[in-house]
């Protein structure tokens, strides 16, 4: 049998909406869209196994087209999975149950740059780097400096509530949103209020930030942008003691300095990742500090921050090791130095308040290292994305010689994640800070939210009555 009747029927209906060139059912395309950047599916493919593939890859050109695609999906009960750049690391864009994969990259237009209010309105499929280049031409910048900017999209920044390198001063991607256009699973095209701060009822805009495509498709967003800063100062400080370094960061934030970055590597990361990428062989906890804006204010803030570090035993290493980090900040995530197969690894990042963060770090490290000692697991971390009340821990586990059998490797990976997440939850952490929940962490949502979880399930049912949107993700 050459053709399947239902598949050809639905394909032709999709082609009527977007045009023949913008629908693919080719085996090679379907294979490409069967994995994102998560370790699990990549390992699965690496071991010669097959993954679930989408039935149709559709490249929509407008919100109206997506609305019509929703009609088809509801009629035939097909899953719809939004796909931005596919750079997600939690399996959020994996087409677990086949269906329609919406590749958003054709919707890549900049609609307006408002140089008075400092906003940009763009379609959600625009590539992060392309958007940044266009803003830079006008002396502006979107201050969401994700290490994945070259391969991620605006919608992909917002859907999992991403966080970029300079978030400590400028906020998470979600903090930059003014308003969004969204296509609901029922096909309605809605717009959230034009400004984020008001008192016209509850802030329902935020429902779609963190929904990871389970409550609809973000098709357009207006984002707050900034002037490119007049000056930037980078500096590095070395602490013998991680605890004192954490306290220095806490003091800077609670006393309302405005560093655009505080990146604090634990001694294990300092000795391995920092050494491999920047070439410094330090013992202790390496901290990078950055201040920007008006040169006088930035210099004064840097001076105050260095005083706070010195009070706690931090040794000023000067600007050079700070700038070297800044210039190589994304190298940590790309070949040849990134974590990659055949290693097993996972980023179990979390966030909590200052009173709990250190205990959480040690508890997670102990649980992972002692629980999986026979695999020579390494646990490393850095603290980035600092708030007035707490800080994010970017923790990772690494096994250099994992099991070769795909099923055994999958089980071990899940067991380590489970151990890490139990330690996080038992110590007051959130199961994620910026990569999202995706497929990987859905099983912890009930535990994370307790009695609030059934309420979230009811919201999902109300917004997506047929359960078509990105099934199996975010615990839905």
Ligand X SMILES: Cc1cc2nc3c(=O)[nH]c(=O)nc-3n(C[C@H](O)[C@H](O)[C@H](O)COP(=O)(O)OP(=O)(O)OC[C@H]3O[C@@H](n4cnc5c(N)ncnc54)[C@H](O)[C@@H]3O)c2cc1C
Residues that bind ligand X (CB under 6 A): 36-37, 81-89, 92-93, 104, 124, 146-148, 152-153, 155-157, 159-160, 162-164, 212-213, 217-218, 333, 434-435, 438, 470, 473
**Residue closer to ligand X (CB basis): 87 or 141:** 87
Rounded to the nearest whole angstrom, what is the least distance from the CB of residue 141 to ligand X in the complex? 15
**Residue closer to ligand X (CB basis): 301 or 433:** 433
Rounded to the nearest whole angstrom, what is the least distance from the CB of residue 143 to ligand X in the complex? 13
Rounded to the nearest whole angstrom, what is the least distance from the CB of residue 116 to ligand X in the complex? 27
Rounded to the nearest whole angstrom, what is the least distance from the CB of residue 420 to ligand X in the complex? 18
**Residue closer to ligand X (CB basis): 92 or 346:** 92
Rounded to the nearest whole angstrom, what is the least distance from the CB of residue 346 to ligand X in the complex? 13
Rounded to the nearest whole angstrom, what is the least distance from the CB of residue 55 to ligand X in the complex? 16
**Residue closer to ligand X (CB basis): 251 or 382:** 382
Retrieve residue 17's tokens.
């909406």
Rounded to the nearest whole angstrom, what is the least distance from the CB of residue 244 to ligand X in the complex? 27
Beta-sheet pairing, 100-103 with 56-58: parallel
**Residue closer to ligand X (CB basis): 92 or 322:** 92
Rounded to the nearest whole angstrom, what is the least distance from the CB of residue 13 to ligand X in the complex? 22
Rounded to the nearest whole angstrom, what is the least distance from the CB of residue 300 to ligand X in the complex? 29
- Residue number of the CB closest to ligand X reads 156
**Residue closer to ligand X (CB basis): 89 or 363:** 89
């Amino acid at each position: 049998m050459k053709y399947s009747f239902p598949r050809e029927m639905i394909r032709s209906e999709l082609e009527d909406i977007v045009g023949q060139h913008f629908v693919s059912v080719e085996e090679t395309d379907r294979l490409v869209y069967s994995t994102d950047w998560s370790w699990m599916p990549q390992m699965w493919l690496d071991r010669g196994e097959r993954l679930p593939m989408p039935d149709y890859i559709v490249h929509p050109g407008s919100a109206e087209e997506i609305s019509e695609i929703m009609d088809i999906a509801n009629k035939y009960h097909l899953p719809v999975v939004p796909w931005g750049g596919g750079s997600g690391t939690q399996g959020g864009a994996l087409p677990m149950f086949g269906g329609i994969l919406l590749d958003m990259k054709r919707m890549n237009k900049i609609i307006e740059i408002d140089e008075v209010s400092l906003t940009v309105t763009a379609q959600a499929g625009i590539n992060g780097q392309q958007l940044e280049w266009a803003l830079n031409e006008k002396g502006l910048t979107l201050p969401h400096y994700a290490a994945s900017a070259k391969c991620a999209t605006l919608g992909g920044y917002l859907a999992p509530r991403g966080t970029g390198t300079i978030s400590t001063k400028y906020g998470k991607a979600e903090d930059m949103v003014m308003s969004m256009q969204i296509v609901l699973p029922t096909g309605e095209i809605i717009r959230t209020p034009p400004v984020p701060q008001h008192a016209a009822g509850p802030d329902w805009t935020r429902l779609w930030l963190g929904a990871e495509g389970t409550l609809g498709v973000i098709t357009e967003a207006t984002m707050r942008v900034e002037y490119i800063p007049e000056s930037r100062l980078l500096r590095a400080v070395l602490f013998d003691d991680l605890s004192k370094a954490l306290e220095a960061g806490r003091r800077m934030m609670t006393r309302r300095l405005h560093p655009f970055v505080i990146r604090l590597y634990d001694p294990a990361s300092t000795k391995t990742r920092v050494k491999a990428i920047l070439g410094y062989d330090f013992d202790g906890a390496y901290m990078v500090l950055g201040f920007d804006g008006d040169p006088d204010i930035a210099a004064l803030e840097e001076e105050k921050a260095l005083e706070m570090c010195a009070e706690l035993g931090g040794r000023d290493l000067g600007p050079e090791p700070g700038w070297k980090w800044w210039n190589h900040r994304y190298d940590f995530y790309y070949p040849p130095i990134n974590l990659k197969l055949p290693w097993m690894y996972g980023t179990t990042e979390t966030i909590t308040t200052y009173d709990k963060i250190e205990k959480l770090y040690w508890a997670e490290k102990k649980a992972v290292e002692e629980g999986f000692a026979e695999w020579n697991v390494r646990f490393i971390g850095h603290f980035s994305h600092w708030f007035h009340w707490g800080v994010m821990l970017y923790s990772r586990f690494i096994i250099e010689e994992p099991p070769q059998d795909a099923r055994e490797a999958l089980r071990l990976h899940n067991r380590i994640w489970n151990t890490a997440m139990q330690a996080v939850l038992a110590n007051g952490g959130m199961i994620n800070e910026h990569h999202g929940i995706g497929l990987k962490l859905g099983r912890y949502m009930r535990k994370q939210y307790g009695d609030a979880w059934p309420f979230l399930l009811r919201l999902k049912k109300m917004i997506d009555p047929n359960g078509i949107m990105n099934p199996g993700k975010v615990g839905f």
